[in-house]
A and B are shown apart, each in its own frame.
Chain A
């Protein structure tokens, strides 16, 4: 097939549940590619000599490589190629902001002047991962000789899982300590079932267990045992405790009944399966009208969950304009299809309660865009005197999360930034404490799954070198050799 013919193939859209149906259930929205669809989509890839897509992927997946194998119908080969770089393709394929990463720079997308018309790299990635899962048996890597070294990983989010998967393959003994009763971090307590089925996350954890990773749930490091105890008992420690501290708006009325953080709302819905209440035991606040404040993935997840919990109206209130919303395009698109209303350039100034102490409305102020701020986005400025009241039964605060303070607070030797992020060497993930590494949202603040995995991957290489050489000083220089490969 020549380039012209390939360019003519339209993007293969993944079939989806109809919006009116899907808000009545929590099943996944996209229904997946058939092998034929995937092979057709794979044909769109030009196998560029200089593959910009690979540059755009934070973990440098050999994208043309795995897509070629899909085109050839060699799905097993494709999944093997994928797993050289990405241990969690079923997850990344679903939640990566592709339009800002691999697909943003794809030659096809550029030719069509729309990253959404690029080769559907994420969908193809999800497809082969799902294909592998449906085969039933995962391919286990050959067994490696034990190094006799022990590693403790704190937190089972994507950062911790990646480190665990890599280090067990290097022959180290790996124990993951997780505060909650299930593994996966945000993937299991935050991101909803309809976007990332929990069975997929559990599948990845089962796989790691098969490889020999030991999971200790209900174990809050810093409380159940001090960090120093882990440092004593293990040869190296990785901190991947995420950005689990919810930010509030600090406006009047925020402690009214019916006002909750996105973390609480989503944890009730996802981790605790409140959507099946009273079959399950954890309740969730419901209302005819629900306002979610924020414009990121977290806000979209809350607004869409609210519809599934029976809200007749679900509103997003965001202080900037739509172009500035940090959420993935697909989430915004799905939310809109489902009937979520976008109230842009508005911001709550106070919340209003009724006599029983429940929220009854929010006083909102209109905003306009001013000069660009430090993030390069135009800063929203309140328009004086433009306040108005929007009635509501429930209000969810989804304006962001900060690094989880639990481990740093119980461990003063660990250097942190002013906003609470753990300070690390960017190449190795080394912290200020010898033997202790960190990565993911606890370093970056609320970021993305793939960045957390990238961090995990880099830290795992460095940890492996540290464990085998005992070398802490200049570890980054020692790693330099393979750095080009690690990126």
Chain B
């Protein structure tokens, strides 16, 4: 059983949780994730470990409500417990001093990006970050990213904060200004990672992305999380989740993410009719 030690709303439908999970905290490295089960008969969902506190034996997760499980989680409060957290899973990020590192985060992707940016900075890299969100109120971890970056650029789709536009516009701008990057780390929606990777390929910047296919076990047993990288099939949970962005077949990933769309709607319907949760209805429209 894992108790919620702390919970905070970071934005609409985005919550930060600190869970008691000493076994997970002990050996966790940046880039790793956990599989979470919030109720006994619940599904197993993957969430990146945004931070750990080994003294407290806790891990920090930042979760956006996008469907039944994440919505139900958002309804939990400090002191509540959940039955299962498994991890840390996945290959840790390769942290190395390479010089100039460009960290690009989109939406909830800033959550997994933060520990990587932090580690990259701590080992002595110059870190420049670009944070993108649909709108200013959806922007998370701005302050934390400032603390670990030498420079932060913000873009919003609607121009409510930073410059209006996409993260790729900001990358172009930096490169045009003469910035040279030895590495780019991009985390966010697959569509964002795709276009960042296309662009950095043009600029010959090696690029690491973190993939988020649908998972079940997270231990390499089911193959549900398979992705194509460099023409080869990889299991994101054990071979990744980080891969060379220039090699990833993003179109396949995006298609595979839609495999259960109709079920996800059905699950939300069922949940909202059982609990009278109105938010579920709104989310369902998002899915449509």
Which A residues form the contact surface with B (CB < 8 A)? Answer: 179-181, 189, 217-220, 223-226, 244-246, 248, 254-255, 257-258, 260-261, 263-264, 267-268, 272-273, 276-283, 285, 356-357, 404-406
- Distance in Å: Cβ of A409 to nearest Cβ of chain B: 8
- Decide: A257 and B255 in contact? CB cutoff 8 A: yes
- Decide: B217 and A180 in contact? CB cutoff 8 A: yes
How many residues belonging to B are interface residues under a CB distance threshold of 8 Å?
A: 46
Which residues from B are CB-within-8-Å of A278?
263, 266-267, 269-271
- Supposing A223-B89, A281-B69, A285-B259 touch, asked if A404 and B23 sit within 8 A by C-beta, the answer is no
Which residues from B are CB-within-8-Å of A225?
23, 26-27
B226 close to chain A: CB less than 8 A: yes
Report the Cα distance A220→B86, complex, angstroms. 7
- Decide: A257 and B259 in contact? CB cutoff 8 A: yes
B216 close to chain A: CB less than 8 A: yes
Which residues from A are CB-within-8-Å of B217?
179-180, 267
- Decide: A281 and B256 in contact? CB cutoff 8 A: no
- Supposing A244-B221, A246-B221, A277-B267 touch, asked if A219 and B23 sit within 8 A by C-beta, the answer is yes
Report the Cα distance A244→B219, complex, angstroms. 9
Most A CB within 10 A of own CB, among B24, B83, B86: B86
Which residues from B are CB-within-8-Å of A261?
222-224
- Decide: A264 and B224 in contact? CB cutoff 8 A: yes
B31 close to chain A: CB less than 8 A: no
Which residues from B are CB-within-8-Å of A244?
219-221
- Supposing A225-B27, A281-B69 touch, asked if A263 and B221 sit within 8 A by C-beta, the answer is yes
Which residues from B are CB-within-8-Å of A226?
27
- Distance in Å: Cβ of B262 to nearest Cβ of chain A: 9
| Contact residues, B156-204 vs A (CB, 8 A) | none
Q: List 23 A-B contacts (CB under 8 A).
A: A179-B86, A180-B219, A181-B37, A224-B27, A224-B86, A225-B27, A245-B220, A257-B256, A264-B216, A264-B224, A267-B221, A278-B269, A279-B41, A279-B270, A280-B42, A281-B69, A281-B267, A282-B44, A282-B216, A283-B263, A283-B264, A285-B260, A356-B255
Which residues from A are CB-within-8-Å of B108?
none
- Supposing A281-B68, A282-B216, A406-B238 touch, asked if A220 and B89 sit within 8 A by C-beta, the answer is yes
- Decide: B87 and A357 in contact? CB cutoff 8 A: no
B247 close to chain A: CB less than 8 A: no
- Decide: B223 and A264 in contact? CB cutoff 8 A: yes
Which B residues form the contact surface with A (CB < 8 A)? Answer: 23-24, 26-27, 35, 37, 39, 41-44, 68-69, 83-89, 216-224, 226, 228, 233, 238, 252, 255-256, 258-260, 263-264, 266-267, 269-271
Contacts A267-B221, A280-B41, A404-B220 known; list 5 others, CB within 8 Å.
Answer: A179-B219, A267-B222, A281-B39, A404-B221, A405-B220
**6 cross-chain pairs, A with B, having the tightest CB-CB distances, nearest first:** A283-B263, A357-B255, A264-B222, A278-B270, A281-B43, A218-B86
- Decide: A281 and B42 in contact? CB cutoff 8 A: yes
Report the Cα distance A337→B238, complex, angstroms. 40
- Decide: B86 and A181 in contact? CB cutoff 8 A: yes
- Decide: B221 and A223 in contact? CB cutoff 8 A: no
Report the Cα distance A52→B31, complex, angstroms. 57
Q: Which of A223, A248, A406 is B223 in contact with, Cβ under 8 Å?
A: A248
Which residues from A are CB-within-8-Å of B269?
278
Which residues from A are CB-within-8-Å of B264?
283
Of all chain A residues, which has the CB nearest B253?
A: A255
- Decide: B216 and A181 in contact? CB cutoff 8 A: no
Of all chain B residues, which has the CB nearest A246?
A: B223
Report the Cα distance A225→B25, complex, angstroms. 10
- Decide: A406 and B27 in contact? CB cutoff 8 A: no
Of all chain B residues, which has the CB nearest A265?
A: B222
Which residues from A are CB-within-8-Å of B89?
220, 223
- Distance in Å: Cβ of B84 to nearest Cβ of chain A: 5
Which residues from A are CB-within-8-Å of B216?
264, 267-268, 272, 282
Which residues from B are CB-within-8-Å of A257?
255-256, 258-259
- Decide: B252 and A255 in contact? CB cutoff 8 A: yes
Of all chain B residues, which has the CB nearest A219?
A: B23
- Supposing A255-B228, A267-B217, A272-B44 touch, asked if A246 and B85 sit within 8 A by C-beta, the answer is no
- Supposing A180-B217, A246-B221, A283-B267 touch, asked if A218 and B88 sit within 8 A by C-beta, the answer is no
Which residues from A are CB-within-8-Å of B87?
220, 223-224
- Decide: B255 and A181 in contact? CB cutoff 8 A: no
Of all chain A residues, which has the CB nearest B26?
A: A225
Report the Cα distance A246→B41, complex, angstroms. 25
Which residues from A are CB-within-8-Å of B270?
278-279
Which residues from A are CB-within-8-Å of B233?
248, 254-255
- Decide: B219 and A220 in contact? CB cutoff 8 A: yes
Which residues from A are CB-within-8-Å of B223?
246, 248, 260-261, 263-264
Report the Cα distance A404→B221, complex, angstroms. 8
Which residues from A are CB-within-8-Å of B24?
224
Q: Which of A218, A281, A406 is B85 in contact with, Cβ under 8 Å?
A: A218
Most A CB within 10 A of own CB, among B223, B258, B264, B269: B223
- Distance in Å: Cβ of A223 to nearest Cβ of chain B: 6
- Distance in Å: Cβ of A384 to nearest Cβ of chain B: 27
- Decide: B84 and A181 in contact? CB cutoff 8 A: yes
Of all chain B residues, which has the CB nearest A397?
A: B223
- Decide: A217 and B84 in contact? CB cutoff 8 A: yes
- Distance in Å: Cβ of B250 to nearest Cβ of chain A: 13
Of all chain A residues, which has the CB nearest B232?
A: A250
Report the Cα distance A281→B26, complex, angstroms. 30
Most A CB within 10 A of own CB, among B217, B228, B264, B267: B217
- Distance in Å: Cβ of A193 to nearest Cβ of chain B: 14
- Supposing A220-B89, A263-B221, A278-B270 touch, asked if A181 and B83 sit within 8 A by C-beta, the answer is yes
Report the Cα distance A269→B224, complex, angstroms. 14
Report the Cα distance A276→B233, complex, angstroms. 31
Report the Cα distance A218→B218, complex, angstroms. 11
Which residues from A are CB-within-8-Å of B68?
281
Which residues from B are CB-within-8-Å of A282?
43-44, 216
Which residues from A are CB-within-8-Å of B260?
283, 285
Report the Cα distance A245→B222, complex, angstroms. 7
